[in-house]
Amino acid sequence: MANLKEIRNRIASVSSTMQITSAMKMVSAAKLKKAQDAITAMRPYANKLTELLQNLSSSLDADAGSAFADERPVKKVLVVTITSNRGLCGAFNSNVIKQCISIKADTYKDKEVHFLAIGKKGNDLLRKKNMVIANHSKVYDDLTFDNVADIAEEMMSYFADGSYDHIVLVYNKFKNAATQILMTEQFLPIVASQSESSTVMDYIFEPEKEKIVMELIPKSLKTQLYKAIRDSYASEHGARMTAMHKATDNATELRDQLKLKYNKARQAAITNEILEIVGGAEALNN
């Protein structure tokens, strides 16, 4: 049986770890509330803007800003990997990386696939394969629409100049603190609405249609990327809060087991001492 000092050291180590995981859980819970409010507030606007763009995309002329709706033979694909800058959030990052590898190996196995990383974890893992063309992890230092818009413009330029024929987003969509939905979403070219139940809206354009579409498409694409990153950001804190909650529970259970083991070892040591004293006293009497 392990000596008492060793068990005491293990109890102190587990208790220290439990305090850290508990603190990280509370920090993530506080950040989650703000991130959840942000994505909940912008999701209806982003969805409506995407729906509007999809309804318009089918009627776009070739010279009326529809360069972003151009369906061409797929030879080169850019996969935008949206992960976090930090770990300790369960399978949050690994699920995205596995999906990206699966896309390259299966969906586009005969195509040239590159990655654009948003988040240090995705960049660190995919960089080993020498397929990361850019890393925008610093966007999390100041997550604003303007900063994300710069990344979206870079991606749009890649598509417009023919550098890539398809651009795909891979990220975790926020559902609740315990659930994140892994999403693979086409960013470019723009996907026209394919719902059979949807009716084609007859819009009245003021000013002319071409000018509105030219302004609407870039704004919609920037909003789509911003929503994806916001979804991932909220999912990250939800995943970390859940992971730290489980880690705290496991540490508590292990600490209780070690305390029980310590008490048993201490009781056995005291019993042995008593037996030695009794045995010595009987030897003296004899």
3: in domain: no
Q: What is the CATH number of the domain that holds 37?
A: 3.40.1380.10
Q: What is the pLDDT of residue 206?
A: 73
Query: Into how many domains does the chain fold?
Result: 1
Mean pLDDT of 120-147: 91
233: in domain: yes
This prediction's pTM: 0.86
Domain limits at 182?
A: 21-243
Mean pLDDT of 252-262: 94
Partnered with residue 173 across adjacent β-strands are: 181
231: in domain: yes
pLDDT tens, residue by residue, 25-43? 999 999 999 999 999 999 9
263: in domain: no
190: in domain: yes
Give the list of residues 6+ apart from residue 187 with CB closer than 8 angstroms, or none.
80, 155, 167, 168, 169, 221, 224, 225
pLDDT tens, residue by residue, 175-222? 998 899 999 999 999 876 555 445 556 677 777 767 777 788 899 999
Q: In the chain, what is the greatest distance between 2 CA atoms, to the nearest angstrom?
A: 116
284: in domain: no
Active site residues: 89
Q: What is the pLDDT of residue 63?
A: 47
Answer for the pair 68, 156: CB distance below 8 angstroms, yes or no.
Answer: yes
How much of the chain, in percent, has pLDDT values that exceed 90? 66
Q: What is the pLDDT of residue 216?
A: 83
Answer for the pair 117, 136: CB distance below 8 angstroms, yes or no.
Answer: yes
Rounded CA-CA distance 222/148 in Å is: 7
Task: Give the dihedral of Cα atoms 74, 80, 81, 85; nearest 10 deg.
Answer: 160
Q: Which two tokens mark 107?
A: 């969906």
Q: What is the mean pLDDT of the chain?
A: 88
Q: Which two tokens mark 232?
A: 């991932």
pLDDT tens, residue by residue, 233-255? 999 999 999 999 999 999 999 99
Answer for the pair 139, 121: CB distance below 8 angstroms, yes or no.
Answer: no
63 CB-contact burial (10 Å; exposed 0-12 / middle 13-18 / buried 19+)? exposed
Answer for the pair 181, 190: CB distance below 8 angstroms, yes or no.
Answer: no
261: in domain: no
**Distance, C-alpha 139 to centroid of its chain:** 14
Three-state secondary structure along the chain? Answer: CCCHHHHHHHHHHHHHHHHHHHHHHHHHHHHHHHHHHHHHHHHHHHHHHHHHHHHHHCCCCCCCCHHHHCCCCCCEEEEEEECCCCCCCCCHHHHHHHHHHHHHHHHCCCCEEEEEEECHHHHHHHHHHCCEEEECHHHHHHCCHHHHHHHHHHHHHHHHCCCCCEEEEEEEEEEECCEEEEEEEEEECCCCCCCCCCCCCCCCCCCCHHHHHHHHHHHHHHHHHHHHHHHHHHHHHHHHHHHHHHHHHHHHHHHHHHHHHHHHHHHHHHHHHHHHHHHHHHHHHC
Query: Which residue shows structure tokens 């809060």?
Result: 241
pLDDT for residue 62 is more than 50:
no
Given pLDDT bands bounded at 50, 70 and 90, which one contains residue 89? very high
pLDDT for residue 139 is more than 50:
yes
pLDDT for residue 112 is more than 90:
yes
